[in-house]
């Protein structure tokens, strides 16, 4: 099991979104989403990283994706963004049976829910969805004659949306989690993860293969 120590940083001190993103990019802990778990059927690899930090009220995430043939078809929250160019964060509090997923395509369209199983879920409420700040940026370029994109996805996730109470502090918490990069209906379907997954077919809804986030 991989472990990522997530630093405590006063990111909310920065007033503008761009300053917060820049600071997270400099001060956040970095994890590579580099596990190609089903190489025979889905060998595609992309350079993908995520940076993480918290300030006791929010978890901050910044994904970097390089060289993807972009797909951004789904344009409303709760649509199947995993079919698009997509990054994901799954988490489970210690000693809890339920887990939560936060999935965003390259346009920042979000799918989020609390799960007992893959099929048995409760979607986040409109107020919870509105509380999650998202910002994406896309740069198009060419690799030879192939058009590709480098893109980033920034998230601010309130602790209450992760299942913590307003009175709880995030410092000292240990969270089971995994970070993913996928694109089921992209030109080059792929399924990458931070922590490796040993299932016969692609499946991200397996908390037994989550890694560990240690929040400082």
Q: How far apart are CA 204 and CA 191, in angstroms?
A: 9
Look at residue 110 and tell me if it is in a domain.
yes
Look at residue 210 and tell me if it is in a domain.
no
Look at residue 5 and tell me if it is in a domain.
no
Beta-strand relationship, 35-36 and 191-193: antiparallel
The confidence score (pLDDT) of residue 141 equals: 98
CATH number at residue 195: 2.60.40.1190
Structural domain count of the chain: 1
Look at residue 99 and tell me if it is in a domain.
yes
Look at residue 13 and tell me if it is in a domain.
no
Look at residue 7 and tell me if it is in a domain.
no
The confidence score (pLDDT) of residue 197 equals: 98
The confidence score (pLDDT) of residue 70 equals: 98
The confidence score (pLDDT) of residue 95 equals: 87
- Which tens digits make up the pLDDT trace of 109-163? 999 999 999 999 999 999 999 999 999 999 999 999 999 999 999 999 999 999 9
Closest CA to 8 of 57, 48, 73, 50: 57
Look at residue 212 and tell me if it is in a domain.
no
| CA within 13 Å, CB half, 132 | 28
Domain extent, residue 168, equals: 19-205
The confidence score (pLDDT) of residue 84 equals: 98
- Which tens digits make up the pLDDT trace of 9-23? 999 999 999 999 999
State which H helix or E strand residue 213 sits in: strand 211-215
The confidence score (pLDDT) of residue 20 equals: 98
Closest CA to 108 of 214, 21, 215, 13: 21
Look at residue 6 and tell me if it is in a domain.
no
- Which tens digits make up the pLDDT trace of 55-101? 999 999 999 999 999 999 999 999 999 999 999 999 999 889 999 99
């Amino acid at each position: 099991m991989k472990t990522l120590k997530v630093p405590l940083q006063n990111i909310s001190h920065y007033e503008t979104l761009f300053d917060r993103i820049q600071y997270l990019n400099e001060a956040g802990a970095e994890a590579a989403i580099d596990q190609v778990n089903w190489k025979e059927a889905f060998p595609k690899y992309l350079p993908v990283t995520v940076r993480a930090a918290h300030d006791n009220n929010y978890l901050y995430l910044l994904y970097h994706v390089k060289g993807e043939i972009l797909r951004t078809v789904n344009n409303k929250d709760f649509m199947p963004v995993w079919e698009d160019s997509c990054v994901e964060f799954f988490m489970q509090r210690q000693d809890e049976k339920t887990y939560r997923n936060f999935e965003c395509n390259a346009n920042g369209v979000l799918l989020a829910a609390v799960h007992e199983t893959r099929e048995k879920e409760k979607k986040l409420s409109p107020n919870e969805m509105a509380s999650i700040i998202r910002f994406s940026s896309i740069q198009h370029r060419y690799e030879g004659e192939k058009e590709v994109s480098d893109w980033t996805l920034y998230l601010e996730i309130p602790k209450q949306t992760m299942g913590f109470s307003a009175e709880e502090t995030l410092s000292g918490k240990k969270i089971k989690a995994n970070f993913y990069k996928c694109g089921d209906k992209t030109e080059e379907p792929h399924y990458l993860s931070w922590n490796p997954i040993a299932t016969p077919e692609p499946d991200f809804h397996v908390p037994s293969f989550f890694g560990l986030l240690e929040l400082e």
